[in-house]
Amino acid sequence: MKKALITGVTGQDGAYLAEFLLEKGYEVHGVKRRASSFNTQRIDHLFRDLHEENVRFILHYGDLSDATNLIRIIQEVQPDEIYNLGAMSHVKVSFDTPEYVANVDGLGAMRLLEAVRILGLAEKTKVYQASTSELYGLVQEVPQTEKTPFYPRSPYGVAKIYAYWITVNYREAYNMFACNGILFNHESPLRGETFVTRKITMATAKIVLGLQDALYIGNLNSQRDWGHAKDYIEAMWLILQQDKPDDFVISTGKTTLVREFVRMAFLECGIELEFVGENENEVGKVKSCSNPKYQIEIGKEVVKVDPTYYRPTEVDLLIGDSTKARTVLGWEPKFDLNDIVKQMVASDIELFEKEVK
Ligand code: NDP
Ligand code: GDR
């Protein structure tokens, strides 16, 4: 039975990946942080009492800022594959916590690789590093490929560039099977609540149900290449199943404005929006409502821009070219943006309908 170790197992991708690997027959170990409140909601359904037989999902307390626990866990587990998904992953928050992000997102990757090396597991253990389209930052060329130069635009992006290169370096220096997946934005009903897509679908659900007045949002003009997390975690696994370690861009190849995502989310509820004004004065008003379930006033301003959510430096445009992954890994996404919006809005409506009843 293959053993996998996942850092960031309590996050969006960690939860989907753990479920995927369990279905493939792996024994899955996850690193979770000690928190003062529960942080395992996304994986609780996978968890079984350790006293039962054939338990294949095991959690360990740990933190990427602490090399000693990483060494202990890796020694204990002797994993065949490590997926380093743990990170402070919010770009805007990284401007407020730059040193922490450098430590966890940057040095954390090195601590894992070094633990594998000093434990003599360099030949056995394959390592996947969760790299990101945020490495591209300021647009150098589109679509972005594995060869596009990096120009990160946030402390998060800068920390992740260290993690990217230390992964390449350990591969070249110690012959380790260490790979980067350069993943573009990917979303799902499990997406963290402060990322823009989930913030939009939650607000849409609350507004149509009469639980919230308006969505306050930042830059509506940035463009993202949005895929589905379920497709992207499969790519992570495929990357580690190859004969040779390598780095791959994972993306849909299509880009969409944040404003368009907002429009799509409301349309999913039968509400057509009209955007008027510019920059911080822009608002989204209800133009029509074809769903008799929702009592919403025509002309109501349901989307308002709040510059608090602007970033000191922004990544304006991301479009990924994943030809290499599609050719070498045989990877193809199954979901498009319409599916994603539909799933996320439906899930959030279901969530908040309980509050109305
Ligand atoms: P989430 O923010 O949903 O999950 C992050 C995970 O990392 C959580 O389990 C979190 O634990 C854990 N974590 C945070 N700090 C530490 C720490 N100090 N030590 C150990 N674990 C920690 O992110 P996603 O699932 O969306 O993303 C997974 C990875 O992929 C991240 O590294 C992210 O940067 C990267 N990425 C994500 C993309 C996306 O669009 N989703 C695109 C490209 C890359 P807790 O639950 O306790 O907070
Ligand atoms: P991103 O995702 O920064 O691309 O990083 P996020 O959803 O946070 O932002 C996408 C774009 O939307 C704009 N935006 C807002 N963003 C947030 N969070 N909140 C708002 O209110 C808001 N209004 C507008 C942002 O300015 C930005 O342009 C995500 C994370 O998952 C990273 O960990 C990952 O590496 C990258 O995707 C690829």
From the alpha carbon of 219, which atom of ligand 2 is closest?
A: 24
Q: What is the CATH number of the domain that holds 308?
A: 3.90.25.10
* Per-residue pLDDT at 48: 76
Residue 230: inside a domain = no
Closest residue CA from atom 10 of ligand 1: 8
Give the binding-site residues of ligand 1, using a 6 Å CB cut-off: 7-8, 10-14, 31, 33, 35, 39, 63-65, 85-89, 104, 130, 132, 183, 185-186, 192
**Confidence at residue 305, expressed as pLDDT on a 0 to 100 scale:** 98
Q: Which of 126, 157, 183 is the last residue of a domain?
A: 183
Q: Are residues 168 and 216 in the same domain?
A: no
Atom of ligand 2 nearest to the CA of 132: 35
Note whether residue 167 is domain-resident.
Answer: yes
Phi/psi of residue 47, nearest 5 degrees = -80, 135
Residue 189 in domain: no
Q: Is residue 15 part of a domain?
A: yes
CA 272 to mean position of chain CA atoms: 29
Please work out whether the CB of residue 255 comes within 6 Å of at least one atom of ligand 2. Answer: no
- Check: CB of residue 267 under 8 Å from CB of residue 222: no
CA 74 to mean position of chain CA atoms? 24
Cα angle value 131/137/139 (rounded, 5°): 130
Question: How many Cβ atoms sit within 10 Å of the Cβ of residue 101?
Answer: 26
Q: How many independent structural domains does the chain possess?
A: 2
Report the alpha-carbon angle 8-13-18, nearest 5. Answer: 80
Domain-embedded: residue 128: yes
Give the CATH number, domain containing residue 33.
Answer: 3.40.50.720
| Tens of each residue's pLDDT in the chain, 357 residues | 999 999 999 999 999 999 999 999 999 999 999 999 999 999 999 987 667 778 999 999 999 999 999 999 999 999 999 999 999 999 999 999 999 999 999 999 999 999 999 999 999 999 999 999 999 999 999 999 999 999 999 999 999 999 999 999 999 999 999 999 999 999 999 999 999 999 999 999 999 999 999 999 999 999 999 999 999 999 999 999 999 999 999 999 999 999 999 999 999 999 999 999 999 999 999 999 999 999 999 999 999 999 999 999 999 999 999 999 999 999 999 999 999 999 999 999 999 998 887
Long-range contacts of 193-196 (CB under 8 A, 24+ apart): 194/90, 195/90, 196/258, 196/261
Same domain? For 167 and 28 the reply is yes
Q: In sequence order, which residues have a C-beta less than 8 Å from that of residue 106 and are 6 or more positions away? A: 158, 159, 160, 162, 163
Encoded amino acid at 115, one letter: A
User: Domain check: are 23 and 117 in the same one?
Assistant: yes
**293 CA distance to ligand 1 centroid (A)?**
37
Closest Cα to atom 9, ligand 1: which residue?
A: 8
Cα of 80 vs centre of ligand 2, distance in Å, is 33
The minimum-distance atom of ligand 2 relative to the CA of 220 is: 24
Angle, in degrees to the nearest 10, between helices 155-174 and 108-118: 20
The reply to whether 249 falls in a domain is: no
Same domain, 27 and 171: yes
Q: Does the residue 173 lie in any domain?
A: yes
Mutational pocket test of ligand 2: of 91, 184, 217, 309, the residue with most ligand atoms within 8 Å of the beta carbon: 91
Alpha carbon separation from 352 to 12, 61, 204, 211, 356 (Å, rounded): 20, 32, 11, 8, 7
- Predicted pLDDT of residue 20: 98
Provide the pLDDT for residue 50: 66
Please give the residue range of the domain that contains residue 348. 196-220+258-315+342-356
Rounded distance, CA 93 to CA 107, Å?
A: 18
Tokens for 211, please give them. Answer: 């639980």
Whether 101 is in a domain gets the answer: yes
My answer on whether 54 and 175 are in the same domain is yes
Residue 222 Cβ contacting ligand 2 at under 6 Å: yes
136 and 207 belong to one structural domain: no
Please state, as a whole number, how many other Cβ atoms lie within 10 Å of the Cβ of residue 350: 11
Ligand 2 atom closest to Cα of 311? Answer: 26
Q: Are residues 115 and 206 in the same domain?
A: no
The residues assigned a catalytic role are 132, 134, 156
CA-based R_g, the chain, Å:
21
Span from the CA of 309 to the centroid of ligand 2 (angstroms): 10
211 & 178 share domain: no
Do 152 and 276 lie in one domain? The reply is no
Indicate which atom in ligand 1 lies nearest the CA of residue 8: 9
Establish whether residue 201 lines the binding site of ligand 2, counting it when its CB lies within 6 angstroms of any ligand atom.
no
Pocket test residue of 196, 251, 306 for ligand 2, highest count of atoms within 8 A of CB:
196
Could you tell me if 290 and 153 lie in one domain? no
The answer to whether residues 129 and 156 belong to one domain is: yes
Q: Are residues 89 and 201 in the same domain?
A: no
